[in-house]
Amino acid sequence: MFTLLGSAVDSVQRFIQVFFSVYQFVLLAYILTSWLRLPVSLARLQRFLYDVSDPYLRVFRRILPRLGPLDLSPLVGLIALGVIEVIVLKILDQLR
């Protein structure tokens, strides 16, 4: 019984690690593409990154004050994502 639970917890942990890694990569790609002027052929990619990243970053934009043209919400969002990942993985580790 415990080995089955441990195996399920391992699978969930791997899924969470991959999910958070992919989302962090998407956020980094969003940050980089927001700084660059991309050709029209990559506008769909930039729109996809915006559509995936903006709902999450909007939470931090409501909390953080604007510092002129500088938007710190992606940086805070990346840090928060890392902290949430560690917390969730530690909770799952306790279930083993």
From residue 22, alpha-carbon distances to 15, 27, 28, 70, 85 in Å are: 11, 9, 10, 25, 12
Separation CA 23–CA 81 (nearest Å)? 9
The residue type of 14 is R
Q: What is the pLDDT of residues 29-68, one digit of tens each?
A: 999 998 888 888 888 999 999 999 999 999 999 998 888 8
Note whether 77 and 87 are within 8 A (CB).
Answer: no
pLDDT, residue 67, reads 82
Residue 2 in this model has a pLDDT that exceeds 60 = no
State the residue for tokens 């991959």. 18
Using the structure block, give the residue that is written with the tokens 């902290």.
Answer: 83
The domain ranges of the chain are 2-94
Q: Find residue 67's DSSP bridge partners.
A: 70
